[in-house]
Amino acid sequence: MNPILVADRVTKRYGTNFALNNVSLEIPSNSIYGLLGPNGAGKTTLIRIINQITYPDSGKILFGGEPLLPHHVSMIGYLPEERGLYKSMKVGEQALYLAQLKGLPKAEAKKRLLYWFERLQIGDWWNKKIQELSKGMAQKIQFIVTVLHEPKLLIFDEPFSGFDPINANIIKEEILHLKERGTSIIFSTHRMESVEEICEYIALLHNAEKILDGKLSDIKKEYKNNVFTVGMIAQKGDEILKELSERFQISASSYDPLESQVEFKVKLPSPDTGSFLKHLSSKGTVNSFVETIPSANDIFIKTVQSKSTHE
């Protein structure tokens, strides 16, 4: 599948400081791509370059295989982290105004807005003033305006900010629905649980450089480190744990003598689990043995810390 967007060796400086240093990315079409990194990593600068708010000092951006030009920006929807609406305007009036700025005829804009207002259960707010809305309600309005013109590429910067868990889940489901309809999405966030839930691909920026990218499932496999969670039934579980601790890295261990239940995590020296399981089986009944897959948050922390250590 051809990428919807390519960043090719993009560099941006402010004075002597790099905001982006030779960053290359490929955003696959019809995917949700997580753009991750600590504050100051370069995420916002890259997003601003994609939206032609600013321009790279070197490198290039391709959109649909073509050099990025001003007319491509109309095919992009951008929801920034810092948002603002005109508080004195009515909700419907402002939504129509913003939709027309994106090139939609008034009648078509109103038709689409009414659909989305009903879908997100805010139809009763059409004639209310923005200043009467809660933060979450205002966020819904801006989400709607961002997606209304049905762009090929959506960029969401912390889209769940300001939402309670119920409404955050509603927006998450809408993002997934947009992807199912063929939209490509860049998702910039610090919320690693959101990355786990919706992102297929990720890139990690740190100190203006890309330090990791790829398909999230493949990255998780690469970061596996032979850690397993074990549950077993055995007598003298405390002695078993002591003996294992002398040979392996054991953590999160517990023993319930009344139930003879032993639980622990173990880091093995290699992926070969046969001899270890055979040894455990000689001590009791193994009822669970599950490999621990690192979370996106684990990978984020480990990669950034490793990069910082070597700088």
For residues 124 and 238, membership in a common domain is answered with no
Q: Is the pLDDT of residue 76 over 70?
A: yes
pLDDT computed for residue 1 by the predictor: 67
pLDDT computed for residue 162 by the predictor: 80
CA gap 95, 26 in Å, rounded:
32
Q: What is the CATH number of the domain that holds 209?
A: 3.40.50.300
Tell how far CA 305 is from the center of its chain. Answer: 19
DSSP symbol at 129 = B
Write out pLDDT tens, residues 127-140.
999 999 888 888 99
Q: Is the pLDDT of residue 46 over 70?
A: yes
For residues 216 and 242, membership in a common domain is answered with no
CA gap 79, 162 in Å, rounded:
13
Find all residues with CB under 8 Å of 214, minimum gap 6, and list them: 201, 202
First to last CA, the chain: 36
Number of domains in the chain: 2
CA gap 60, 157 in Å, rounded:
22
Q: What does pTM read for this prediction?
A: 0.87
Write out pLDDT tens, residues 164-197.
899 999 999 999 999 999 999 999 987 788 898 8
- Residue 86 — pLDDT band, cuts 50, 70, 90? confident
38-42: average pLDDT: 89
Q: Which domain holds residue 13?
A: 3-222
For residues 92 and 13, membership in a common domain is answered with yes
CA gap 255, 261 in Å, rounded:
6
pLDDT computed for residue 81 by the predictor: 82
Q: Are 264 and 256 contacting, i.e. CB atoms less than 8 angstroms apart? A: no
Write out pLDDT tens, residues 270-282.
888 999 999 999 9
